[in-house]
Chain A
């Protein structure tokens, strides 16, 4: 598709020196390592694949039921089941070698040492373009979110990870805080190269017929279109609080949602739960964004970032 000047609009964005062919990424935990969706989506078209959270050792996750649908969204309490960083490197990263897309590895842990172990193991790997540090998962008892709801803890873990990380670091923030601006500033002060938000909002669903919790974990993270306006507001606030790039996510279900997030201040966006509703959603979002730029006579998507003040 071409604009008035006859050129295709430029969809590329740059975060911490890493150039992405377009701003559309996958939300960690909703796309496996890309392998699971490679039969549905041309991974080469994506700005980046953001992989499922990986820890230093395998994690079994929570008991089932782990997922529940709610109006316009879903709750999950997977509990970060993952095979650990060694299997991840051998199998999942090796799989991604064949694709022309950036790879952002989401890292989780129960202690700072756990995070550092994973970050150190990934340091020498050329296939890893960036790290996304999950300090915002509401579904594990220790670690994870504990580091993301207190500005001092967030500052400390960011600083420690930055000391050992070879790749640029994105801190993934939780919306379950009083002030997202304060948390964004703490991550920036700790040296984060970028922040991503929002992770899921903590929710609960009760089965009224059985008079019991639907999720075995009782609470779960709410995602999907239902949370999109909350995410736009928080991306806007965070983008105004810090100078580092913001990756916006939370209920993106269409190109309009993605453009909205960028107008609010995001440099890139991630599509999460909607991958389940439409495995080809990411490609549709990319196509729709390009069409939007053409219709508005905009040469580069970078010029819409934060355009609505």
Chain B
């Protein structure tokens, strides 16, 4: 049952600190238990081994290697669960739920001029997207605008392999002095005519609000990858909703489930 969602035991292959509080983890699926399809923008629920921590941690997927059955998660330590995760060593085991949610549709984005806007720990899923777009039958022209607090950057070199990469830092210690929204605006006005067909953004909520406003101002379609505190991760508990412009398909009350209808939404479909 390849399409069945399952809780699967995985093994830590590596778990390396790549910036202050940011870790790069590879989890290997056992043979025959690997997910059949993984799209950029999707996520998994990672269960902690400490049973007092009940709920799966929703973590976006940074990369997927189907040959090795390796899932790459780049995450920030945000609480007790991710702290436990950060202390894992290779050989340790973690149960994983998923692949969960709806990711980006590469067919829609292939061949387009795509602006990726990543704020902080919003960058990792966009790296997966950049790599998928570079490998598409008709590659996209990708610009990545990435915002960090300081020069303590992560994943920059990997973005540069496939994409024109613009870095903004809040404190000006690297690249453009300003936030990622300033960098995105600069990109949008860079040439006489609009240089992008679509924006894909992931980052903190205020940033996504600003991207949504810019997308409207410049009449360019945008996709936003949202996050929220989740419990089940599979659409049952209705914990992780976002207000939507239209009726949501589950409850018909303009509250879509980020874990199920999302986490990637069209900007105009969500009221954030």
Contact = CB atoms under 8 A, between A and B. Distances in A.
B238 A274 contact: no
B199 interface: no
A140 to B, nearest CB: 13
A83 B7 contact: no
Contact of A66 (B229, B251, B260): B229
B255 A39 contact: no
Interface of B: 4-7, 47, 51-56, 81, 97, 228-242, 250-255, 260
B241 A36 contact: no
A65 B229 contact: yes
B253 A60 contact: yes
Contact of B255 (A31, A32, A60): A60
B237 A29 contact: yes
A176 interface: no
Interface stretch (A3-11, A73-81, A123-131, A288-296): A73-81
Q: Interface residues of A: mostly helix, strand, loop or mixed?
A: loop
Contacts of A71: 52
Nearest to A87: B252
A68 B229 contact: yes
Q: Which 10 A-B pairs have the closest CB atoms?
A: A67-B239, A36-B236, A32-B236, A60-B253, A65-B229, A83-B251, A67-B231, A276-B232, A277-B54, A36-B235
B270 to A, nearest CB: 12
Interface in A214-262: 224-225
A157 B7 CA distance: 42
A273 B252 CA distance: 25
A74 B7 contact: no
Nearest to B5: A39
Given A61-B255, A66-B229, A81-B255, A37 B238 contact: no
A297 interface: no
Contact of B54 (A36, A58, A72): A72
23 contacts: A30-B232, A36-B235, A37-B234, A39-B5, A40-B4, A59-B251, A60-B255, A64-B239, A64-B241, A67-B231, A67-B237, A67-B239, A74-B54, A74-B55, A81-B238, A81-B241, A81-B251, A82-B251, A83-B252, A84-B252, A275-B236, A277-B56, A279-B7
A31 B52 CA distance: 21
Nearest to B242: A64
A19 interface: no
A58 B231 contact: no
Contacts of B53: 69
Given A32-B236, A52-B238, A64-B239, 19 more contacts: A36-B232, A36-B234, A37-B234, A40-B5, A58-B251, A60-B255, A64-B229, A66-B238, A66-B240, A67-B55, A68-B229, A74-B54, A81-B241, A81-B251, A87-B252, A276-B54, A276-B237, A277-B51, A277-B55
